[in-house]
Amino acid sequence: MRSTPEYDVIVIGAGMSGISAASELDKKGLRVLVLEARDRIGGRINTIYPFGPDNVAVELGAQWIHGTEANLNPLLHLIDNVSLPSDWEHTKMFNKHGALVDPQVASKCLEAVEQLGERCVEAYKKGERGSFAAFMARDVEWSGKCIFGTCPPGKVLVCANCVEKVFVGREFENVEGAELDELSIGEKAGEGNFEGDNAIPVKGYRWLLEKLIREMHSTEFRFGCEVQSIDYSGEFVTIFTSRGIHHAKTIVSTIPLGVMKSPHAPKFTPPLPPAYQHSIKTLGFGLLDKTILTFEKSFWPPSTHGFQSHLDLSPHGGPSDAFILLFNLKAGIQYNGDPNIIVAYYAANVADWLETLPDEKVVPIFLNHLTHLFGAPTPLLSHTVTRWRNEKYSCGSYSYLSKGSEFSDQAVWTRPVGGGKVVFAGEHTIETHFATVHGALLSGRRAAEQVLKKVEGVDEDFEKKEKGFGEGSEEEEEEEEEDLVKGNWKGFVVMGVVVLIALVVYMTF
């Protein structure tokens, strides 16, 4: 029996949450080992610099800073160069024939979608449950009225404008990465954006992760090290990997929810408690993919940030009316000169279907689509097609609240198991910031604080937490998250004790 483990803490995963946790623990002088199955840092952050390290950063995964107002987003305290807010309000819309939708109609469509989301939140708070699709069908304001006054008497949702409104409603699929009939109406009630517009880290998220790593003093990293099983039945935690066995006083698991739901999920001994297994089963894990095309010159409106469009994939055997969002990277980041990059975003069943095709078929589909919308393209210089569902160590893009789950299914992951020996972090483990990079960052900070309480011998009843997860008041949980935003560890909430918080942030994705 080993008397002293090799490490105080082992962090599983070198994504934002794992590196965030390791950064905080390294500051405290703990012996930390980070295990990463891939040969790179980032996890679902994957920044590439195809035109050189000093040229534009291209994000294959997470891309956005959600909320830039008043400098409240913790990412803004770590990133020294962000783009101007993206102008999504003036996104151009194309109808299914490839013609531009009248700007006034487009504006009313977007307004109607926003109001629909607000009504979903209100309905959820009043106790309604079910899928987003079911709510849309019974919502009179959405399905029972023509807000344009252009439908024939006695009929609704049949005029061209209403058809476009219904299509724009599928924007929720692209944002959440899930089909509307799988998405809970509570999804919008729990999303955590900070106030303000979205922006992009100009140097890329990888730059931020590398910065955090450079500031560490003694933390070790092991790449290509797939965790196969985790035994926390003894005094210490033993981790069995593809490259050997490691021991630690405690661990931080940032294993993505998608991997936990997969057949190749690491085995826990003893098995995770029932509430955690229920969460794994019921929470959703969505998919958002990108096809990134670089051209010699832009042939789309150069100052427009985004374009919403229909794409008929049925001639190829796919969905007949796919929702495609095109993003003009040059306008979004506001850089001068080359390269000229358009990013096609697509989600849920559209992305799942496109993942079955090789690049040789995907790229022509989007080249033809761009030609249909903007005219003959200039020469294509390069392309990248993401396939996050088929990525073994992600199995998708980010979590969502499915129609059969509740926020308590996310809250369970805030509670350590094994007497505090196993702590969790990741975007799926934080209720009001899930599916965001800042949520991953904050969850890593929370996990580090929990580890410190265990390693430094703080008298905390972890076992009681395991059995009574989610029993803390809503106010207590909100104040814990606010402390994380400020990085104020001295004022962190110990279970059952509420401290004054100077900063209150309520977020909507």
- 């409603």: which residue's tokens? 169
The answer, yes or no, to whether the previous bond of 358 is cis (omega within 30 of 0) is no
Instruction: Answer whether 191's CB lies under 8 Å from 435's CB.
Output: yes
Nearest to 428 by CA among 238, 307, 303, 257: 257
427 is in an annotated binding site: yes
Beta bridge partners of 246: 239
Give the dihedral sign, CA 198/204/207/212: positive
69 is in an annotated binding site: no
Report CA 122 to chain centroid distance, whole Å.
Answer: 24
Name the token pair of 218: 């003694």
205 is in an annotated binding site: no
What b/e sequence results for 118-139 when a residue is b if at least 16 CB atoms lie within 10 Å of its CB, and e otherwise?
A: ebbbebbeeeeebbbbebbeeb
Question: Alpha carbon of 375 to those of 98, 300, 313, 315, 378: distances in Å?
Answer: 11, 8, 19, 21, 10
Instruction: Answer whether 139's CB lies under 8 Å from 147's CB.
Output: no
17 is in an annotated binding site: yes
What b/e sequence results for 50-77 when a residue is b if at least 16 CB atoms lie within 10 Å of its CB, and e otherwise?
A: ebeeeebbbbbbbbbbbbbeeebbbbbe
Cα separation, 139 vs 286, in Å, equals 25
Cα separation, 15 vs 17, in Å, equals 6
37 is in an annotated binding site: yes
Cα separation, 463 vs 337, in Å, equals 58
Feature table: binding site: 17, 36-37, 227, 345, 427
- Pick out the residues of the known binding site for FAD: 17, 36-37, 227, 427
Annotated binding-site residue numbers for substrate = 345
